[in-house]
């Protein structure tokens, strides 16, 4: 392991909470794509599959920041365990209603309740921030490491979720994702020594972290970025099925995540100069441009190559995003601020997966890649227009070292989101 990454594990408990975070974030890459695969297997309706994925993401988008706000105030253990129990119970209801062919509205009710899943990535990054506050270089490496962990989830998760759902039984992927969530969160919250200290109630009296103009720009842009991720998941499954190799979709999506993983590993080794806002805009524009070649792919191998190249811009952009979150959000609201970016992604995933599902049903799988292309263009426009709000500004609370994680994301990844 390169020395910057080796250094971050010098503190007791760091390996353990990072490993727990890996398990807890697996649903980010497994749940949404697992639901899409399950519903398409059981019903053949990609419109319904995309809409359910959107319902999961929107529910997480609404509930996630509220859970993180409670975590900032009361601590991770007291809040995360009840939230996870509620989410796992709802997922069980979702799988049962799908398997028993209950009316469609029951699927959406359980999907909405399943959204109380916490943003595990934000919880892990808050622990790193607590440990290495005031050590910018070490914190940058720690956040870059977490971007690698995110992408490992997105490499392994879709393979497990799609593979199990197609080879074993349709509900297998989402079922395993729920198991990972429960084990990861309970293991994480058992580690009290590295848990961030809850902030006093009076420090939370000034409203939401989303009042920050800089954070608003990040969140709105991430709605469009999330639409890219959500659409690519749905369309790639449809393209693979149309080609007669539906299970291969997991490998193609894993290559997409691999590109991000490679870029994140290299990015963590760099000593960067200049303000993060400029790098962030460049990263968003690179993500937008990388969507164009997807329209020209004619086979799964060519699609995999195009997605690998597209993935190279993801992790560096997500890492830079957290540098900006730390700059524009007070310390007492850091977990909430990080979660708002995940919320933006979740909303985008909901919109992108739903739109892509309807486009696939109406015009065919290949046309579905128009959705992430349009979302990328919108993201670039919003980032360029809001760049001025992200320029350096005085801190309003105790300083937090620069750095940033990857997403989930989508998360991740995102995240997908569950």
How confident is the model at residue 416, as a pLDDT?
A: 35
Task: Report d(CA 392, CA 327) in Å as an integer.
Answer: 8
Residue-wise pLDDT for 259-289, tens only, equals: 988 988 888 877 777 777 888 899 999 999 9
Residue-wise pLDDT for 186-227, tens only, equals: 999 999 888 888 766 555 446 677 777 888 899 999 999 999
Segment among 19-23, 133-137, 362-366 with least mean pLDDT: 133-137
Domains of the chain: 17-198+209-390 (1.20.1250.20)
How confident is the model at residue 2, as a pLDDT?
A: 52
Model confidence, pTM: 0.75
What average pLDDT does this structure show over 80-97? 92
How confident is the model at residue 248, as a pLDDT?
A: 82
What average pLDDT does this structure show over 93-103? 87
How confident is the model at residue 206, as a pLDDT?
A: 60
Segment among 61-65, 104-108, 236-240, 411-415 with least mean pLDDT: 411-415
pLDDT beyond 90 at 300: no
pLDDT beyond 50 at 120: yes
Which is more confidently placed, 274 or 158? Answer: 158
């Amino acid at each position: 392991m390169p020395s910057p990454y080796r250094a971050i594990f010098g503190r007791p408990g760091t390996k353990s909470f990072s490993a727990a975070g890996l398990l807890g974030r697996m649903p980010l890459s497994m749940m949404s794509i697992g639901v899409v695969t399950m519903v398409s297997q059981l019903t053949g309706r990609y419109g319904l599959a995309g809409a359910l994925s959107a319902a999961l993401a929107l529910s997480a988008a609404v509930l996630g920041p509220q859970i993180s706000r409670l975590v900032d105030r009361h601590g991770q253990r007291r809040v995360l365990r009840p939230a996870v129990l509620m989410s796992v119970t709802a997922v069980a209801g979702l799988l049962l209603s799908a398997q028993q062919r209950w009316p469609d509205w029951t699927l959406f009710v359980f999907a909405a309740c399943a959204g109380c899943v916490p943003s595990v990535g934000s919880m892990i990054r808050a622990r790193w921030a607590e440990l290495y506050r005031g050590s910018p270089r070490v914190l940058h490496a720690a956040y870059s490491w977490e971007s690698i962990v995110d992408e490992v989830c997105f490499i392994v998760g879709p393979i497990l979720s799609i593979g199990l759902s197609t080879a074993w039984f349709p509900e297998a992927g989402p079922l395993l994702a729920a198991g990972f969530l429960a084990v990861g969160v309970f293991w994480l919250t058992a580690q009290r020594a590295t848990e961030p200290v809850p902030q006093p109630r009076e420090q939370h009296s000034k409203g939401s972290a989303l009042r920050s103009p800089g954070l608003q720009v990040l969140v709105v842009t991430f709605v469009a970025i999330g639409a890219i991720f959500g659409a690519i998941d749905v369309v790639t499954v449809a393209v693979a099925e149309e080609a007669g190799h539906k299970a291969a979709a997991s490998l193609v999506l894993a290559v997409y995540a691999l590109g991000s993983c490679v870029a994140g590993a290299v990015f963590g080794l760099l000593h960067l100069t200049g303000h993060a806002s400029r790098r962030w805009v460049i990263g968003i524009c690179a993500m937008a441009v990388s969507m164009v070649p997807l329209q020209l792919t004619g086979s799964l191998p060519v699609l995999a190559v195009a997605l690998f190249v597209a993935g190279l811009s993801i992790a560096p952009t997500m890492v830079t995003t957290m540098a900006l979150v730390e700059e524009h959000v007070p310390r007492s609201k850091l977990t909430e601020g990080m979660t708002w970016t995940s919320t933006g992604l979740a909303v985008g995933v909901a919109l992108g997966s739903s739109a892509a599902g309807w486009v696939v049903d109406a015009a065919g799988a290949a046309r579905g890649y128009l959705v992430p292309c349009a979302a990328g263009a919108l993201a670039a426009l919003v980032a360029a227009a809001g760049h001025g709000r992200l320029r350096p500004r005085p801190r309003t609370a105790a300083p937090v070292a620069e750095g940033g994680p990857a997403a989930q994301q989508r998360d991740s990844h995102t995240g997908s989101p569950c």
